[in-house]
Structure 1
Amino acid sequence: MAAPITVHRPSPTGGRRVTARGQILGLAYSDRDLTELLRRAGLENAEQLVDGDSALIEWRGGRAHKYEAA
């Protein structure tokens, strides 16, 4: 089963689209943005998920925690 949270490849202008179970949460330009998107989606432990390289987060098309355009 795929991770419920997906951080997609960096866009050409920077930032990464974030989805949770197929719903778009927004665009993250940093781990801080990602944490906020997850918090707004109702995840109380969002900071620990992002900081801890959780298996619940799948990073696609680029290195984890990197948001700059390729």
Structure 2
Amino acid sequence: MLVAALVLAFVAFLALVNFVLTSADWSLYLLFAAAGLGMVLFIIDGFRKRKPDIGDAEEDVGKPSL
């Protein structure tokens, strides 16, 4: 998911460059859509990495603690 967020950041950068050069409205819409979706994916990726996996917790139940 992080790779997708980075790709969307690159798409947003290209849309920004295109908007500056041509002042086309569609590139501005693409910029905000790509940037917004990239931020959402980045936040989701962060939450998925912070939250402990339930499957890992179930596997640790039978193991003796040190």
Please classify the TM superposition score into its range, dividing by the shorter chain length. Answer: under 0.3
Q: Which has the larger radius of gyration?
A: 2
More strand by share: 1
Higher relative contact order (CA 8 A, sep 6+): 1
User: Which TM-score applies when normalising by structure 2?
Assistant: 0.25
More helix by share: 2
